[in-house]
């Protein structure tokens, strides 16, 4: 069962259960997936990551503005979206991928970070956040 099929099934279950917050969040996700498909982007994982990131940033903004109630709702939506994403790579697995990418790309200094990042991100394939990968690549190239 694909991600979209799972979301559709969960949306129906949430509607039957009368879980309005979950229904609202899943409808937004379905809408974004449909919009991306219409634009020719069939990468569901990328859409889900983008939507999760938006929720996390919104929660942070609400928290900075003193709106803890709204921040909690955004965080709950982010967790719901994250449940449809593939499992994140462990630090050990990611470290091994980064080490291979640095070696395979021939990167030897922070100036070569772009080559190593391209290689690492291709192998990571959406299973780790770009900032996390970037930090590990930078650390590997610096020392």
Convert the pLDDT of each residue in 73-106 to its tens digit: 999 999 999 888 888 888 888 888 888 888 888 8
Q: How far is CA 51 from CA 27, 38, 60, 66, in A?
A: 12, 17, 14, 23
Tokens of residue 81, six digits? 């979206």
13 and 62 in one domain? yes
pTM of the model: 0.71
Domain of 12 in residue numbering reads as: 3-82
| Residues near 104 by beta carbon (within 8 Å), at least 6 away in sequence | 119
State the CATH number of the domain containing residue 118: 1.10.10.410
Tell me, yes or no, whether 95 and 64 share the same domain. no
Q: What is the pLDDT of residue 103?
A: 85
Q: List the CATH number of the domain containing 77.
A: 1.10.1510.10
């Amino acid at each position: 069962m694909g991600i979209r099929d799972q979301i559709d099934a969960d949306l129906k279950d949430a509607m039957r259960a009368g879980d309005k917050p979950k229904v609202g969040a899943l409808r937004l996700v379905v809408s974004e997936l449909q919009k991306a498909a219409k634009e020719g982007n069939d990468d569901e994982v990328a859409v889900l990551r983008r939507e999760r990131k938006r929720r996390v940033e919104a929660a942070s903004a609400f928290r900075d503005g003193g709106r803890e109630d709204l921040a909690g709702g955004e965080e709950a939506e982010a967790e719901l979206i994250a449940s449809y994403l593939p499992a994140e790579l462990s630090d050990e697995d990611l470290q091994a991928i980064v080490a291979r990418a640095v070696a395979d790309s021939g990167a030897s200094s922070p100036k070569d970070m772009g080559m190593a990042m391209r290689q690492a991100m291709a192998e990571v394939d959406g299973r780790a956040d770009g900032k996390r990968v970037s930090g590990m690549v930078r650390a590997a190239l610096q020392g």
